[in-house]
Amino acid sequence: MLNSTWQPLSILALHGPNLNLLGQREPEIYGSLTLAEINRLLEEQAFKLQAKIFPVQSNHEGTLVDNIHGALGQHQGILINAGAYTHTSVALRDAIAAVNLPTVEVHLSNIYRREDFRHHSYISPVAIGQISGFGVQSYLLGLQALVDHLRIRS
């Protein structure tokens, strides 16, 4: 039985550059689902896990950094697909390290089976884990892992 002070976990779901084009952008790599459909699936999964997802997509690095900073005191964890910023953004890495919220990095494609420049992630050293290569399941598995981690910690 839940007490009256119980609140669902709050998870910030960050989607980086070009993910707004999912469903039309290289479907052979990223699949045919749109970002709206992925967010809907995340919301359904979060509900089952007694959590709430707050999705944000931006093509702008600073907006993503601002949302990470804003997560302090608002969210218990971060689920992030930083897109191309995964491989280039020290700023995102530093923001995640600064807020010190449990973060799971996800990718639709297997970044290690792609171009060499995609094999390095600035995010993974400050994340509790990374899931890639399973399409939309990467997001759902990442959410499950993050919620499990948060529940074990509390």
What CATH number does residue 142 fall under?
A: 3.40.50.9100
Residue 2: inside a domain, yes or no?
no
Average pLDDT, the chain: 93
Residue 3: inside a domain, yes or no?
no
Q: What is the pLDDT of residues 42-94, one digit of tens each?
A: 999 999 999 999 999 999 999 999 999 999 999 999 999 999 999 999 999 99
Give the pLDDT mean for 1-7: 53
Residue 89: inside a domain, yes or no?
yes
Phi, psi of 152 (to 5 degrees): -65, -35
Q: Which residue has the higher pLDDT, 3 or 50?
A: 50
Q: pTM for the whole thing?
A: 0.92
- The pLDDT assigned to 32 comes to 83
- The pLDDT assigned to 1 comes to 43
Give the integer Cα–Cα distance in Å for 46 and 82: 20
Binding-site residues: 81, 87, 94, 108-109, 118
Compute the half-sphere exposure of residue 54: CA atoms within 13 Å on the CB side of its CA.
14
Give the pLDDT mean for 23-51: 92
Give, for 53, the enclosing helix (H) or strand (E): strand 51-57
- Percent of the chain with pLDDT strictly greater than 70: 95
Residue 61: inside a domain, yes or no?
yes
Q: Does the structure show a pLDDT above 70 at 23? A: yes
- The pLDDT assigned to 77 comes to 98
Residue 88: inside a domain, yes or no?
yes
State the total domains in the chain: 1
Residue 4: inside a domain, yes or no?
no
- The pLDDT assigned to 6 comes to 59
Paired residues of 132 in beta bridges? 107
Domain that holds residue 101: 9-153
- Which residues form the catalytic set? 30, 107
**Lowest mean pLDDT across 71-75, 107-111, 142-146:** 107-111
Binding-site residues for substrate: 81, 87, 94, 108-109, 118
Q: Does the structure show a pLDDT above 80 at 154? A: no
Q: Does the structure show a pLDDT above 50 at 41? A: yes
Residue 112: inside a domain, yes or no?
yes
Q: Residue 103 in 3-state DSSP? A: strand
Residue 70: inside a domain, yes or no?
yes
